[in-house]
Structure 1
């Protein structure tokens, strides 16, 4: 249950310059303390070359993750940060690159950077060096100054992405008044404009102060960028990011935008996602030198090398543009309407449980009048429930014109296509060449974001516009291949299992509305789900466990109206497995998910005999105090998890009483 959280991506690292001395790359462990002290001395020296050398050495040091904690503990950031406003442009550039690289490691590092007051000199940089700066074509440091500005913008982006305090400090500064001037594409190059747009794309979201400033200061520039006619990769990126910033300034409510702007935005997203990233990468792999072990020190660039670098840059711009487009669509399809629907579904479920309680209580009591009252109450509840179910559809939560645009431009198919990585041999070539290793990371991020977006779109679009029930089933199968047949990382697994769960939810909803016409899972046997059960047992990530538990529960539920010896065996095995996992579960919200899955599975009266067979009531009674105790111990939960836990705690005793009464009459 609940909205899938959007996971944001870090800006890629930019290698710091390296003059010479390969010995600096490997620092002996026993000499690390001395090396850090040497770096500190160099950073605090008056000589420009000494400071620059210290920054280079520090940049090499943080390339090894095991050194990060030591660097932070020694407060090196406190020494480096003021160098962002050093008088020497080379020192400013090296400091900005090093801090930006450090901020990409993980969100927790951004907290450490904030604690060591990186924001004060960063704000000073923008106030002192960016308020009126324009690249001077005659300046010997022009390229260096441009790179420094871009690095600092990306550093600001990462800090704001990882820290609410950074957003607060930025709001109190003049940065939001300074950055809009860099959206003038007639003055600043595409790299500068793209960096600023990426920063605003992150900063403006859910930030009313930033929304108003950008809306009032940038409307003309954003519209100009939105209307770029070029079909080059950098133009795709600029147009897509501009669309994202415009949507953020209206709090994600596209209905508040003029219809022509909405159509323009959706058209841009469709065109961006129409580019075949697999083909682009395949073409690039043909140009990449094979067997390259690229040393840190690069040879002088030839025309061929420059051409290759331009191709790499274009490929990364395409992937960045597509990821931004996918994040925009994911946000559009996971707005408050989805959460509202979930809450309504919970209310309907609670009403069902109440009607069960009234029914079972009055039958046990034996009072005919009370029984009649119960029946009338049950009928009234059922009418209300049916009325709610008939009137509520997830796709109704999207504005009609937006829904039509998503369907007509085949956005879902385009997003799903972006979840497919280039061919294995292409990926291997790109991973081996140092210049394309960052592209490989971007491709993996694109795949993950595409899957999360598919998850949201499965819930938001009518099934007939997703290709029908068979197409949704194929998505379930293909997502399953990522989960169970590849050595996938935790982030990809979470995204893929979310897609599998959403696909089954869609199939279940379709079946319930079509008299169980679909027989996709009618031949499902125990051997077909053994891999899933093994995956749940071995899974260390709570979100993935929850997705898999809910998924096998839905699979069992799809078999309830097709009871035979095989399907009964599957349902009972799934039930016993979920109950067994519930006893082992440490996270209360995952425990609640497991219990909710069982209650959903056995809510139909046709399951009474199966409930008796697995001794369901007694096993749920054992779980009741466990759930309550964990709920008391784990109170600090996200809002959607709190709703899930409180619903499970409230409804489990009621369901037990209802099912116990039903089983007693068998």
Structure 2
């Protein structure tokens, strides 16, 4: 019954240039320091040092420091951006790379305000200049002597990768940065980086992320796309999948093409949308849990082989230490003593972990894209969008009270082309399967390794996105396209198992909000089609509601009272439900009169209208819980709250809906008076 769209989620924060930055930062900072001001001042001062090595170490130290939130205000006071910006054009390529890495971390960790401040302090001027130099460098590098080509290309592409990530971050957060992107012709540069997907997938993925961001709702930029630009995107979408990072690349490019749909000829719309959803379907079809398990096993085997090889080398050396001259003969080996922990043998980039992360990110992105395809607007989580159309002068009747409760959320928008592609690519089935993700085995495998443990949260994020996606599809598609009544009942049973198999579900706010939204939409659809809801018992729903109403999330609280209203309205038409209806009524009345949010209180009142608008059992229950006197007492309080709190705390749309609830409350009170008279005479 609701309209939903995923939020923009920022990327995980990480050190920009791998282990090398961490090592340089550690060398510069020494042991972990407690003071924030000391390191910041020292590192910023060293940015002006005549030695390129010192400047590089200072940039690397700042890349590490900005990941500590308390350091950000101090760095802002000391004008870190203005000091780092010029180093993007430093004579030393290594300094350029680490300076871009520091700005990348600053933009990723600082959020919208920091990114906007970076643009104000003119980071875009040296950044755009660096991007253009890298682009020219890639062209000239093609003509370099063979012995220098690979080394030069690697340096230029590494710098470009850091720079395009900074560009992506600031354009995501700042409209001024986006305007500069448009005016400075950055599109051509980023497309050139994307076109190198066959030789540098890391750079291509970063470029694809940037393109997906800058093409969203950017009419001015869309006009700049030429046929050659679209060919670059098409080539990336059709690229063979040689690793899971290419799966992520194709997913991101599919998202960019979706953003460009308005400039694609109408005769090609259906074909393009089908191609996009085919990619998303293939991504979702992959068993990410199994991939995680396989990749972890592959990593363990590789590390075991590396450890055995190292032990043989140490034994051959005799003293357990590989000397410097021997190191020259063993490429990519560190000078090491015998290891105590196998994790110490990890290479600078863990291929298996990167692959698993890429697939999970691709699936998360695919699910977010599908939700966005189902939405025409981007409402806030607790926004009520559609108002009831009842007239205040109408006389109170059972029907007017029932209809007057209104749809709090408007229907989603789905074009014929998207609808056809969703069903032909079996998207609903694959999303249903993803709601049961992740597998306990995959979670257990990741929990045993500190480096893999973050994937547990990422797997949970994929599940939450699947639940949000499920909410959209259930609200959009006809029951037959969802598999019919048996499929919906099985799905309700699955959601119930997912929810109640976790005794501490109330602690996981994102999961609780996602699953309560999905359950709300599913039960609403089932109720509207008269499909039995016995797969979820009233006692289970009360458990959910009692836990959910204590949540700090307004969205969760709105969902649980709405769910209770849906279930109660179904039970009100059945015999033998008096006691359950009394329990539901008392709960909703408590929420309506005591919840600090008027949005939640309004939803609870609407739920009461639904539950007690009709039915013999509902009428008896309303009298026994003294619903009428309670609402009469609350009516002036509710009006006063709207008048005093509304203007400062709630949006105009929310205030319109609250005003409508106030009107329906007056009608419902009048209706309940007629019910009491009839039952007591």
Fold in common (TM above 0.5): yes
Hey, what does 1:126 align to over in structure 2? 131
Task: State the shift of 1:518 in Å.
Answer: 1.7
Q: Do the aligned residues in 2 keep the contact of 1:522 with 1:559 (CA within 8 Å)?
A: no
Q: Do the aligned residues in 2 keep the contact of 1:542 with 1:587 (CA within 8 Å)?
A: yes
Task: State the shift of 1:28 in Å.
Answer: 3.9
Structure 2 unaligned runs (5+)?
143-147, 304-331, 337-344
Query: Pick from 51, 54, 61: which aligns with 1:57?
Result: 61
Distance 1:131 1:622 in 2: 74
Task: State the shift of 1:586 in Å.
Answer: 2.5
Query: CA 1:308/1:19 → structure 2, altered by over 3 Å: closer, same or farther?
Result: closer
Show the 5 A alignment for 1:24-423: 24=29, 26-29=31-34, 31-105=35-109, 107-108=111-112, 109-114=114-119, 116-130=121-135, 133-134=138-139, 138=149, 140-185=151-196, 189-214=200-225, 218-230=229-241, 232-251=243-262, 257-289=268-300, 300=334, 309-335=350-376, 346-347=387-388, 350=390, 355-357=394-396, 397-423=413-439
Distance 1:555 1:410 in 2: 30
Query: Pick from 644, 652, 666: which aligns with 2:657?
Result: 644
Task: State the shift of 1:497 in Å.
Answer: 1.9
Hey, what does 2:469 align to over in structure 1? 453
Hey, what does 1:609 align to over in structure 2? 620
After TM superposition, the structure 1 stretch with the greater mean CA deviation from structure 2, 656-665 or 183-192, is 183-192
Task: State the shift of 1:306 in Å.
Answer: 6.4
Q: Do the aligned residues in 1 keep the contact of 2:182 with 2:220 (CA within 8 Å)?
A: yes
Task: State the shift of 1:280 in Å.
Answer: 0.4
Deviations 1:509-562 (A, max 9, x none): 222xxxxx625169634xx34532431343112111211221222222221111
Does residue 1:524 correspond to 2:528, yes or no?
A: no
Distance 1:54 1:507 in 2: 61
Deviations 1:23-71 (A, max 9, x none): 9365443x43222221121123333222222222223323334434443
Hey, what does 2:489 align to over in structure 1? 470
Distance 1:312 1:235 in 2: 15
Query: Pick from 655, 658, 662: which aligns with 2:671?
Result: 658
Query: CA 1:35/1:107 → structure 2, altered by over 3 Å: closer, same or farther?
Result: closer
User: Residue 218 of structure 1 aligns to a residue in which SS?
Assistant: helix
Q: Do the aligned residues in 2 keep the contact of 1:508 with 1:558 (CA within 8 Å)?
A: yes
Hey, what does 1:598 align to over in structure 2? 608
Query: CA 1:651/1:544 → structure 2, altered by over 3 Å: closer, same or farther?
Result: same
After TM superposition, the structure 1 stretch with the greater mean CA deviation from structure 2, 421-430 or 80-89, is 421-430
Structure 1 unaligned runs (5+)?
293-297, 361-377, 512-516
After TM superposition, the structure 1 stretch with the greater mean CA deviation from structure 2, 256-265 or 468-477, is 256-265
Distance 2:456 2:122 in 1: 33
Distance 2:469 2:355 in 1: 24
Query: CA 1:556/1:487 → structure 2, altered by over 3 Å: closer, same or farther?
Result: closer
Deviations 1:294-337 (A, max 9, x none): xxxx96399x9669933333222222222222122111223369
Q: Do the aligned residues in 2 keep the contact of 1:263 with 1:405 (CA within 8 Å)?
A: yes
Query: CA 1:152/1:354 → structure 2, altered by over 3 Å: closer, same or farther?
Result: farther
After TM superposition, the structure 1 stretch with the greater mean CA deviation from structure 2, 104-113 or 171-180, is 104-113
Query: Pick from 563, 578, 588: which aligns with 2:575?
Result: 563
Counting matched residue pairs gives 619
Query: CA 1:344/1:125 → structure 2, altered by over 3 Å: closer, same or farther?
Result: closer
Q: Do the aligned residues in 1 keep the contact of 2:2 with 2:411 (CA within 8 Å)?
A: no
Distance 1:96 1:307 in 2: 19
Does residue 1:480 correspond to 2:499, yes or no?
A: yes
Q: Do the aligned residues in 1 keep the contact of 2:517 with 2:559 (CA within 8 Å)?
A: yes
Distance 1:568 1:139 in 2: 78
Distance 2:54 2:385 in 1: 64
- TM-score computed with the length of structure 2 as normaliser: 0.80
Task: State the shift of 1:153 in Å.
Answer: 1.9
Query: CA 1:608/1:344 → structure 2, altered by over 3 Å: closer, same or farther?
Result: farther
Q: Do the aligned residues in 1 keep the contact of 2:295 with 2:353 (CA within 8 Å)?
A: yes
User: Residue 239 of structure 1 aligns to a residue in which SS?
Assistant: helix
Task: State the shift of 1:188 in Å.
Answer: 5.8
Distance 1:301 1:487 in 2: 49
Does residue 1:444 correspond to 2:449, yes or no?
A: no
Query: CA 1:656/1:114 → structure 2, altered by over 3 Å: closer, same or farther?
Result: farther
Q: CA RMSD for the aligned pairs?
A: 3.9
Deviations 1:245-297 (A, max 9, x none): 1111125999774333232222222112111111100111223449x9xxxxx
Distance 2:546 2:604 in 1: 16
Distance 1:530 1:354 in 2: 36
Distance 1:491 1:85 in 2: 42
Distance 1:603 1:26 in 2: 68
Distance 2:135 2:652 in 1: 40
After TM superposition, the structure 1 stretch with the greater mean CA deviation from structure 2, 160-169 or 252-261, is 252-261
Q: Do the aligned residues in 2 keep the contact of 1:62 with 1:102 (CA within 8 Å)?
A: yes
User: Residue 105 of structure 1 aligns to a residue in which SS?
Assistant: helix
User: Residue 9 of structure 2 aligns to a residue in which SS?
Assistant: coil
User: Residue 50 of structure 2 aligns to a residue in which SS?
Assistant: coil
Q: Do the aligned residues in 1 keep the contact of 2:291 with 2:356 (CA within 8 Å)?
A: yes
After TM superposition, the structure 1 stretch with the greater mean CA deviation from structure 2, 555-564 or 270-279, is 555-564
